[in-house]
Amino acid sequence: MNKKTLIADTHDIFKAFINNGLHQHYCIYCQFPFNPNLLNRYHYGKHYDIEFNDGYRYYQ
């Protein structure tokens, strides 16, 4: 995984990162709180690291 972190300040930007597969190569920091409905919309594959501004971290 690359040492750079992508910052998603909106749900639309988060969606674009996931749809383009960037979550498999970069960590993603979301500038909004954890939302289980948002996470359940996508398939993430084997490697990902997503952190939300409320401290919740979703990774594998």
Q: What is the rounded distance in angstroms from the CA atom of residue 56 to the CA atom of residue 33? A: 8
Question: Has residue 9 got a pLDDT over 90?
Answer: yes
Q: What is the pLDDT of residue 40?
A: 86
With CA atoms as reference, report the closest residue to 46 among 57, 27, 60, 58.
60
Question: What is the pTM for the complete model shown?
Answer: 0.89
Nearest to 36 by CA among 54, 20, 17: 54
In angstroms, the CA 18 to CA 13 distance is: 9
- Percent of residues, the chain, with pLDDT higher than 70: 100
**Whether pLDDT at 16 is above 90:** yes
Instruction: Note the pLDDT of residue 11.
Output: 94
Euclidean distance between CA atoms 53 and 25, whole angstroms = 20
Query: Percent of the chain, pLDDT > 90?
Result: 68
